[in-house]
Structure 1
């Protein structure tokens, strides 16, 4: 934390010595003027918080200039004089310049005044060091990098059209925020924004989740249920991780996109879909189509306008800015004034953030909890192996364990760590989602409990 700065323009050696001996003064950065130069010019350059000025001449040019100077309102002044009437000094005091002490000086009173001033400055500095957010914002998105401003321009152009959009980007880059921002700037902004994670849909209930059902349509259907197409009527439907929808069920979504018609499960009533579709995936689509995880004809229906999302490592300067943004809002929520040290910001800037904005946000949240007032590098826990260089990565693996058993443990632990997200799990393990499904089918269902 920076210390308040004190400026001293005192010609009397004894007075200067007495002022420097006060306890309050020694705690702060001290700037002493060059006696033969205009002290106001020196004060303006130094940008000090407190100024101790000895007034011993009615011809003090700097004192006259101070009346119309911004420094009058930016600096706390303590004036010292022999007590001769001085209309200029009287005018400054009427403007609220600060204190005026007349000889002989009561050093205890001066020290008390200084302590009061410095106390106020400390509180001011504490608030100043509270982390603030300086990044540009567009809709629900935050970022000042060239890559993000290019994305903003794309979103603005696409949002006003009726085209379906397909958002592609790594996990944690904020694809749902992009979809929501498109909705906010679209002609459907007054309608609902409904998001659904296609990877979480079970094959048995996918028709009901998408199109709804009527009471009695199947066991457990105790009342009518609106599907997401009906929930989002007049608005935007966001299909997150659409490539994780079971392959056999994707044709049903394709039919709705082609005809605009759908039927709730158990109903003979045909309904017309009035939604704008925005889909998203973190997979490489060519691989998903090649591996028969995603239908090519469905892709062409959804991707009337593809949008590529930049990774955090491609957003120059945004990592530090986002960290400060998240911390500023966390501080405001709890009434705190925590801030990053310079070394912490350097660490944030160096790290590649493979988990993108989501990983950064979680790291800031953990650091906020661990730190008292200043967040140091050790508070920023990342997945960087260099942070754990002393750890033996083979520890805990029994000698002689079968390779297929080791593979099973790796898959199940990674799946659990990703809260069941199969796409993230497959990406971390370096296999396709189809391969992951095939391997999971071999395991007993009790392994997932």
Structure 2
């Protein structure tokens, strides 16, 4: 394994001696510069630069600021503590660390040790880790996945897409319900028409009628021109009503009337218009619970749900989790013309997490990791929220001291979460320890999250 290269331009002899005594520097290939340091740095393939800021000119600092390739390296600046706006600008742009006198050897040692650890891990894992340039997953329409549950979903979508049945999509936030709706549109006979999506939960109660059915000029204050509602915008195509259970009950009645007679009237107009659209609705709620809570009309549900469709959460697509991580990374590499790889240890961390935010959360996590990584995504780049297991661990550590009167479901949750934490997120090992099936574990975790 190669040693990291450190470029050193320090003219102050006591400082140079102090740095030279650090054992971390002896683990590196050191390149010392005495003159024309900027030109020498441009020729050197250095991984870390130690620079005495007071030994460089203002012009050299300006040249350094304007050279983004040089600033991609890790920098340690050493100054006399006097204000220096150009140096401050470099640090603010993320160039590295700025050490002022008196030099803190402990902090400097920690920084160097972190650098060496990162370098060693990247060197070791990069030897056998190829750049992620392509997706390994199957695709149907706008959906990606090769797991059994996704293949079943594809088959269902192919069959229902060619009908005119109104589809009601159910699934947790982040599972891709709008992608499912758009895929249905693309595979339908209406694919030459528009696909119009509207979030019913984001509509202002005062403007729901206008957004759905449109309005005529002068219909109300602020209506300075005619406006086409989404029913008219989607004419001949597909209208996707997302989070339909969040629509106010009074407007649910009007929507039901349109679905029954296929007619609607723009606000302020006497003209009836025909609704030649296919309706696809979606919700992240349990519709039966929404009906029981009197948030959603049962007759509207039956009208919309000619074909109910459940989108699986990511935790039920176990074979797809790492594949999707590579898929998103491949697209980032293609978009940015980069060659970032991902370590097996990072994939293991991804596979062990429950992903309560589903595919959306995984996508955002990979995008953050891509930004944080250099050429290789490592476990520390996969930033996940830490579960608060203090209460559950307290219950699990001493079962004899569990107080009476605790509901059984709370004890079950405590046992599951504590065992999962003890196994570092390994769901298979957790299920075996608890004596339950992996499917039961998934169902329990889904309920808790």
TM-score by length of 1: 0.58
SS in 1 for 2:154: helix
Cα distance change, pair 289–387 in 1 and its aligned pair in 2 (3 A)? closer
Whole-Å separation in 2 of the counterparts to 1:156 and 1:236: 16
Match of 2:217 in 1: 215
Whole-Å separation in 2 of the counterparts to 1:213 and 1:182: 29
Whole-Å separation in 2 of the counterparts to 1:365 and 1:386: 25
Match of 1:196 in 2: 198
Indicate conservation of the 8 Å contact 1:131/1:340, yes or no.
no
> 1:129 Cα shift?
2.3
Match of 1:252 in 2: 254
Whole-Å separation in 1 of the counterparts to 2:216 and 2:379: 56
Indicate conservation of the 8 Å contact 2:191/2:237, yes or no.
yes
Match of 1:296 in 2: 298
Indicate conservation of the 8 Å contact 2:132/2:326, yes or no.
no
SS in 1 for 2:172: coil
TM-score by length of 2: 0.58
Match of 2:243 in 1: 241
Aligned equivalent of 1:368, options 361, 367, 370? 370
Match of 1:229 in 2: 231
Which consecutive unaligned segments of at least 5 residues does structure 2 have?
2-125, 392-445
Match of 1:313 in 2: 315
Match of 1:348 in 2: 350
Aligned equivalent of 1:184, options 171, 183, 186? 186
Whole-Å separation in 2 of the counterparts to 1:207 and 1:332: 43
Aligned-pair RMSD on alpha carbons? 2.3
Stretch deviating more after TM superposition (268-277 or 308-317): 308-317
Whole-Å separation in 1 of the counterparts to 2:377 and 2:316: 25
Listed one character per residue, the Cα deviations across residues 203-230 of structure 1 (whole Å, up to 9, x for unaligned) are 1000000000010000000100000000
Stretch deviating more after TM superposition (257-266 or 124-133): 124-133
| 2:336 matches 1:334 | yes
Whole-Å separation in 1 of the counterparts to 2:134 and 2:378: 17
Cα distance change, pair 379–387 in 1 and its aligned pair in 2 (3 A)? farther
Aligned equivalent of 1:148, options 147, 150, 159? 150
Indicate conservation of the 8 Å contact 1:127/1:337, yes or no.
no
SS in 2 for 1:307: strand
Indicate conservation of the 8 Å contact 2:170/2:311, yes or no.
yes
Match of 1:62 in 2: none
Which consecutive unaligned segments of at least 5 residues does structure 1 have?
2-123, 390-427, 432-449
4+ residue runs over 4 A deviation = 124-128, 386-389
Alignment of 1:362-441 (within 5 A): 362-385=364-387
Alignment of 1:434-449 (within 5 A): none
Whole-Å separation in 1 of the counterparts to 2:127 and 2:350: 24
